Amino acid sequence: MSARIALLAAVVATTTLAACKQDRPVATVVPSGDVNPAVQRANAAVAQAADLSDPKSFEDARRGLIAVPSGQIKNADGNVVWDFDAFSFVKGEAPLTVNPSLWRQALLNNQIGLFKVSDRIYQLRGFDLANMTLVEGATGWIVIDTLTSRETAAAAIAFARQHLGNKLISAIIFTHSHVDHFGGVLGLVSAEEAKARNIPVVAPVGFMEEATSENLMVGAAMVRRSLFMYGDQLARDARGLVDNGLGKAVAYGNVGILPPTLIIDKPQQDVVIDGLRFSFHNVPGSEAPAEFVFEIPELKAFCGAEMMSHTLHNLYTLRGAKVRDALKWSDYLDQSLAWTAKSEVIFTQHHWPVWGRDNIRESITKQRDAYKYIHDQTVRMINAGLTGPEIADKLQMPRSLQDYLNVRGYYGTVRHNARAVYQFYMGWFDAHPSNLDELPPVEAAKHYVALAGGVDKMIADAQKAFDAGDFRWSATVLKHAVYAEPNNIAAKELLARSFEQMGYMAESGPWRNFYLTGAFELRNGAPTKGKSLAMLMEMLQQTPIERFLERMAASIDGSKAADSNLRINLVFSDLNESYVLWIENGVLHFKKAPSDPEANATLTLTKAFFLKMMTGQAGAGDLILSSDVSTSGSRIDLGRFLLMIEKAPGIFPIVTR
């Protein structure tokens, strides 16, 4: 977000990223490995372990269908942002290359279109990773969450109006601070229209701060890893991307935001919006740092935002993020049993609704107990002396939770959530003294290769493990071989085949995507260009200058700055704001203050030009030529300062070094 593009928001962290085409990538090398018999056996066992036919979920996922979209959504340049038919291959029985339980989730998430949830409530599903919900108010549509991009949001509301009538938007509600829930708002209304019509924009306390800073600090790393998590480089077929657990895929389009006009800042707060009373409950620190859920009493409906869903969610997201509090999440779900006591339907901002009070209670109870079981049992094993990997390998859910398919690990998993709980309490260190100052991966790999008798010997041993169906070990051995000899084709190919087999077995969409993207990059290499930031400009305009300066400070090359004492004035001519930046002990500091007459140089510019600098759309030459910029003092010192800022193109290798 996040999410997930959390994911699109993640790319704001790079100081410069080259633009790239938004066309859907296609694998240049088709995965060549056959499905190992061990994979076939493992997937067959999954198919026998639970009733994956699950007729009730399929009935609910199709309930209330009004119309189904088709074709493609394109941006202004003609590039495809969303393809409704890309996953048309997801039908029938699970192929050998997909875990049958994940295939079930992919089939359920393929139920796309405009749906009637209940009286006056509608949802658009399958237009993006998340859902857009429409509630009919007294004068127009109350829109709950606005998808990731301007393009998908505009297509969704146009589709709804085609079938439900051309109502105006009377209010916008952002349930939480992940970009797939607010980024498309400018596809619904412009900032000018929202202001002229006084459209209420409602959000939880902390929303704007979290929405604009999400992943800013380490976004270059997050967006690189998100390409693995969401499978963006994979072909859409049975050997590639089939689903993401929460939804089909992420829409890469233009991202914007509208500042809230009404902040819900109390634990419980009632507000009348376009004639309907909403009873909000803030749940910060559950699935997002700023999030709320709410009841609409008159409609006997409850919005679970993303605190509730039809999958085990992430306590730690694989793209990288701060660990979430399992105990707090479980407690909020427990409180929700009372908040939903009079509700007849729960709708969430991913997946399909839950109807009926007994079903609602069961759904919330199972989700509550899934997070608490992982928390409690992980803590029990921590206190017994087990480490994170040991706990992950040992922990199993009780049968009552394993058999309830809507808390299966289609997005988060028991394994990596257990390690998240370990990290939450214990941090990175497992207490073994050898791990206090362990060798970095490449240096360690060279020692392992020497110990094993050379790369050829490691490949031979890995091949034996592969043939025996022990892909975890073959991948571990080959990781060291490839780190030590990144150009060894035989090692890379066998590692790619090992990743493929693990991907074919994975029940989690993100795990599958990580494995298969790892195989893809072993064969094709890491990307040569990063994601374009131009699509984020409308959102970045709402980001405070201080957030960018914090990121700038974290981009200073400390070795270059160690002996520097430069002082720079940064003046924003259009904001009537100025900042003093200085380097001390290799650290960049800043404060909002009048220009320092003793500074080495003064850079005067507009915020718009500053954003172009920060997003790589303006370089050193533009500083001299642009009418939006002026400098005084020493240009040499200003140049020295700018050269200390390390660029983060976001294309670093992951499966090689």
Q: Each residue of 474-485: pLDDT tens digit?
A: 999 999 999 999
For residue 538, what pLDDT is reported? 85
For residue 21, what pLDDT is reported? 33
pLDDT per position as a tens digit, 359-402: 999 999 999 999 999 999 999 999 999 999 999 999 999 999 99
For residue 26, what pLDDT is reported? 36
- Asked whether 275 and 103 are in contact (CB, 8 A), the reply is no
Tell me which DSSP letter residue 110 carries: T
Q: What is d(CA 554, CA 568) in angstroms, rounded to the nearest whole number?
A: 17
Q: What is d(CA 241, CA 512) in angstroms, rounded to the nearest whole number?
A: 8
For residue 532, what pLDDT is reported? 67
For residue 33, what pLDDT is reported? 59
User: Which residue carries 């459209």 as its tokens?
Assistant: 199
For residue 480, what pLDDT is reported? 98
543: helix, strand or coil: coil
Helix orientation angle between 509-524 and 100-109, rounded to the nearest 10 degrees: 100
Q: Following CA atoms 476, 482, 484, 485 in sequence, which dihedral angle do they give, to the nearest 10 degrees?
A: 160
CA atoms within 13 A on the CB side of 359: 13
519: helix, strand or coil: helix
For residue 630, what pLDDT is reported? 94
Q: Among 2.40.160.20, 3.30.1050.10, 3.90.226.10, 3.10.270.10, what is the CATH number of 544-643?
A: 3.30.1050.10
Closest CA to 307 of 270, 281, 278, 342: 281
For residue 27, what pLDDT is reported? 35
- Asked whether 508 and 409 are in contact (CB, 8 A), the reply is yes
Q: Is 272 exposed, middle or buried (0-12, 13-18, 19+ CB in 10 A)?
A: exposed
Q: What is d(CA 441, CA 451) in angstroms, rounded to the nearest whole number?
A: 15
545-564 in b/e burial notation, b at 16+ Cβ within 10 A?
bebbbbbbbbbbeeeebeeb
pTM recorded for the entire structure: 0.93
For residue 556, what pLDDT is reported? 96
Q: What is d(CA 581, CA 564) in angstroms, rounded to the nearest whole number?
A: 13
Pick out the chain residues at pLDDT < 50: 1-31
Closest CA to 11 of 224, 230, 253, 185: 224
